[in-house]
Amino acid sequence: MKERIRQQALDLGFDDCRFTTADAPESVPQFTDWIARGWHGHMQYLERNADKRANPQLVLSGAKTLILLAASYASPEGRGPDEVSLQQSNGITPHGVVARYARHLDYHGVLAERLKALADFLAETTGPGCRSRWYTDTGPILERDLAARSGLGFVGKHTNLISKSLGNWVFLASILTTVELEPDKADKNRCGSCTRCLSACPTEAIRAPFQLDARRCISYLTIELKGSIPAELRPLIGERIFGCDDCLAACPWNRFSRQGRLMRDSVSPDLDRPNLLKLLELDDAEFKRCFAETPLIRSKRRGLLRNVCVALGNIGSRQALPALLKAADDAEPLISEHARWAIERIQKRASKC
């Protein structure tokens, strides 16, 4: 039965499929401590559903098994280090950097269709007594920790899952089910003495191995944080406008990464190096039209243009001032505040020339 399910998952396009019990994750004490420290920032949903994350039985009563699935979003060459290097624009049209996962159509939609098909296969194969719930990181489940227990990978010092066969560029999905299946064996941690991810983090958000303060993480600051970005962290964001890949790209396990089958046809080339000045011109309707099917829609116009202003403040030249002056009068206070900050930064750089 288990191998039939695994093969069906691979046939549907997933790159790996593993199994573990529906017991509570061993990392619950660390998760609880992380919440208590406030390192989750404004991600209140993590605190609100903490009890469910600590006990899968509260998500699905009678659950016996978790099926963990991986889908690679590595670029075609399958290498880890990003092709895009962060550098000053020096008068050239400024471009931003979008995290690699977000340069595709929204993975939730891409994975959901196959995940539902796998859940349906599970029900058809096991009979009418089967109850299941499936998630693409949308449910109150500690998927990373359970994926590690299933042998799908191991948790790296940057706190992300690392797959021995796929590297760091991995989406996770899960099916929680009442069907009892033999669990796979967990893999051991294979980071060794390597600390490349800690050294790569621009904001020192990785406080120590396996300890991430999300409040300093650029992915949190540019995506999850809905308000003003702390002024002291803005210069460290560089030209990143949605997420950050630095700790992931630094990992040597990426030498084994390979392009995944599910995501290879969903790449959005326009998001490779978007023109920051053009982005700053978007009104709400244009923003929705451009990004409706991509992860960037999560940031809303106010969030994305906030990030664009920060990027321009870090790398922009006088060329960006007219657009920023217009943004400084934007009806959205979050945009206007960050535009004024960017203008001041550019003017200070120009005065030193």
Active site residues: 137
Q: Give the Cα separation of 296 and 327 in Å (integer).
A: 20
Centre a 10 Å sphere on the Cβ of residue 189 and count the other Cβ atoms it contains. 14
Cβ atoms of 142 and 25 within 8 Å: the answer is: yes
Packing angle of the helix pair 107-126, 2-11 (nearest 10 deg): 150
Nearest to 275 by CA among 340, 230, 227, 323: 323
Nearest to 140 by CA among 55, 214, 71, 225: 55
Alpha carbon separation from 32 to 24, 45, 51, 182, 303 (Å, rounded): 13, 14, 9, 28, 29
Q: Give the Cα separation of 30 and 11 in Å (integer).
A: 36
DSSP symbol at 237: G
Amino acid at site 4: R
| Torsion sign (Cα): 308, 310, 314, 317 | positive
Q: Which residues contact 241 (CB under 8 A, 6 or more apart)?
A: 96, 97, 98, 222, 274, 276, 279, 304, 307, 308, 310, 311
